[in-house]
Structure 1
């Protein structure tokens, strides 16, 4: 399927690895010029080289913390008029709510609530002027259901979802869509870290922990960054202009609900 994205410009935050990288690969495959972002310069350059060699598009890499003003300014300097913004950022580490002090609370809110809003504020005027814009926010299954130790991440991402529910409807008449992708258990480094932690706590092997968690998912497997990225690319396509304000779960059926 031709997604109608050839020549479009995309900023993908936190895209040197994991789900962000999956989104960058899919958008590059669709013909978008890409601005990557990450904090590890070595990994970031490896991803930039990979995409540049695989696809006939422009690929820039900005090593920066997107949660800072300086990081945001660097991204926007590399791509002042993006057609696509994929908001993504690392979440706060797993921690019981009783252990969170004010500094930790504020950092989590800045990472997963304030930062995407600031970037949306920066890119929307140009999108409205051009009559085309796609904003995809990578949030989490935890917006829908609690995950132990991720209360801060869940709260910040749920707040972003509620904040943008009205904003997206203001932008819809201008050809600008805003949607959220909610990953469940995806086969990424973050999930593998969880396996290691669970194995240490339970005394079981990592393989046993992995198998047990996969068995809890109706699809009987974990999601891949590749399929996640392709879903993101479709939401950014010309075919998805009538989809906005939606929370799209990618969890293999793990969340048990009819609606």
Structure 2
């Protein structure tokens, strides 16, 4: 299927690794010019070169924290126009809600709600004028199924979803879509680090923790980041113009409800 992405310009935040990189990779493979972003300059350049080698695509980079307005502007300035925006950012650390002081609360809301909204504000008018735009925000399955200890992450990402859901309806007639992707457990470095921490706390092999986790997923495994990237690319494609304001749950069946 031709996704109609060849020659499109895509910004993918927090994309030097993990699910952000998977989305960037899928977009690049379908012909988009992709801007990668990450805080670690060395890791970012390695990721960009790997993506160039794998896809032959035009891959550009902007280092820095996407919550920084100057970095946001550098991202927008890296391409002639922005046709696709994939919002992504790391979540606040796991902690009891009693430990979330005001500074931590504001930092979490800035990273996982305010920064994505600000990026949308920077690019959406151009999308409307050109009558094509695709915005995808990576949130979390904890928006639908909150997890104790991830309260700040869940709350900020739910706030982002609610904020942009109304915007999505306002711009839909201009062929600009805004959707959300809620990942469950995917085989990323972040998940592996969580397993390692739990294994150390319990005094068991990390393989035991990983097997237990995979066993709780009806699919019997963790997600492959490439699966996530492919779904992201479809939502950014010419075929997804009638899908907007939706949250796509990709969790191998872990969420037990029907809505």
- Residue in 2 that maps onto 1:79: 79
RMSD of the alignment, in Å?
0.9
Q: CA deviation at 1:241?
A: 0.6
Query: How many Å separate the matches in 1 of 2:82 and 2:171?
Result: 16
Query: How many Å separate the matches in 1 of 2:51 and 2:196?
Result: 30
Q: State the Cα deviation string for residues 56-115 of structure 1 (Å, max 9, x = none).
A: 331101111101111111111112521000000011111110001110000000000000
Q: CA deviation at 1:201?
A: 2.2
Moved over 6 A (4+): none
Q: State the Cα deviation string for residues 18-45 of structure 1 (Å, max 9, x = none).
A: 0000000000001000100001111111
- Residue in 2 that maps onto 1:141: 141
Query: How many Å separate the matches in 2 of 1:40 and 1:147?
Result: 29
- Residue in 2 that maps onto 1:103: 103
Structure 2: which 5+ runs fail to align?
A: none
* Residues 200 and 54 (structure 1), Cα distance of their counterparts in 2 relative to 1, 3 Å cut: closer
TM-score, normalising length: structure 1: 0.98
- Residue in 2 that maps onto 1:49: 49
Indicate if the aligned counterparts of 1:218 and 1:253 stay in contact, CA closer than 8 A: yes
Query: How many Å separate the matches in 2 of 1:100 and 1:56?
Result: 44
Q: CA deviation at 1:231?
A: 0.4
Equivalences, count: 259
Indicate if the aligned counterparts of 1:31 and 1:56 stay in contact, CA closer than 8 A: no
TM-score, normalising length: structure 2: 0.98
- Residue in 2 that maps onto 1:205: 205
Query: How many Å separate the matches in 1 of 2:44 and 2:220?
Result: 32
Indicate if the aligned counterparts of 1:44 and 1:63 stay in contact, CA closer than 8 A: yes
Query: How many Å separate the matches in 2 of 1:155 and 1:88?
Result: 15
Query: How many Å separate the matches in 2 of 1:136 and 1:98?
Result: 32
Q: Partner of 2:208: helix, strand, or coil?
A: helix
Indicate if the aligned counterparts of 1:88 and 1:137 stay in contact, CA closer than 8 A: yes
Q: CA deviation at 1:189?
A: 1.1
Give the stretch that moved more between structures: 197-206 or 232-241.
197-206
Indicate if the aligned counterparts of 1:64 and 1:74 stay in contact, CA closer than 8 A: no
Query: How many Å separate the matches in 2 of 1:149 and 1:155?
Result: 11
- Residue in 2 that maps onto 1:194: 194
Q: Partner of 1:36: helix, strand, or coil?
A: strand
Q: Partner of 1:204: helix, strand, or coil?
A: coil
Q: State the Cα deviation string for residues 156-187 of structure 1 (Å, max 9, x = none).
A: 00001111111100010000000000000011
What is the correspondence of 1:126-137 to structure 2 with a 5 Å cutoff?
Answer: 126-137=126-137
Query: How many Å separate the matches in 1 of 2:225 and 2:46?
Result: 17
What is the correspondence of 1:199-238 to structure 2 with a 5 Å cutoff?
Answer: 199-238=199-238
Q: State the Cα deviation string for residues 113-162 of structure 1 (Å, max 9, x = none).
A: 00000000000000000000000000000001121210000000000111
Give the stretch that moved more between structures: 217-226 or 74-83.
74-83
Give the stretch that moved more between structures: 2-11 or 54-63.
54-63
- Residue in 2 that maps onto 1:258: 258
What is the correspondence of 1:21-40 to structure 2 with a 5 Å cutoff?
Answer: 21-40=21-40
Query: How many Å separate the matches in 2 of 1:129 and 1:69?
Result: 23
